[in-house]
Amino acid sequence: MKVRTFILIVAVVFRMMVCTSGQSGSIPSVAAQPDTSMAPQHKAAPVAVETGPSSWMDRAILDFIARGTSPLIADARRRGQNLSWIIDRTEARNGADLIVVQLGHTESEPDGSSRRFATAGWLYLDTAREIIYEYDLPNDSLVRWN
């Protein structure tokens, strides 16, 4: 009898967790703008970041989304996915403080549950010199992008 009671309590608690953790409804898609809904939980970038439609950084990201040739970015464009970005952190690399940007899109299950940010690529932005680097994952290196 005690085992059945334990199993029943576990089943009820599990069901409650599943019901309360999912989000119902559809996820609005917003094309080409920063996605803050799935931002990583860590300290903010230690440098001031200018954002907005007229900032060099936003224009550079939008240009990369429109013209980037990386397979995942190009595939997302072909499939009509609305790409967005998350400013992830700053990192000292190549003798400069670079802003690390995660590019991708938000997706979920058909019922709206399990919402997540699917990464399609990473950019490293040197805003002082206005240089864009694309992250080459297999080689753990930065490739300058024009």
Q: Residue 118 has which token pair?
A: 């699917």
Mean per-residue pLDDT, 55-70: 91
Structural domain for 39, as ranges:
29-145
Is 108 among the domain residues? yes
Average per-residue pLDDT for the chain: 73
Is 66 among the domain residues? yes
- Give dist(CA 26, CA 14) in Å, integer: 24
73-103 pLDDT tens trace: 999 989 988 899 999 999 998 789 999 999 9
22-33 pLDDT tens trace: 333 332 333 454
Is 2 among the domain residues? no
Is 16 among the domain residues? no
49-61 pLDDT tens trace: 555 556 899 999 9
* Overall domain count for the chain: 1
Is 70 among the domain residues? yes
Query: Under the phi-then-psi rule, with left for phi > 0, alpha for psi from -120 to 50, and beta for the rest, what region is 35?
Result: beta
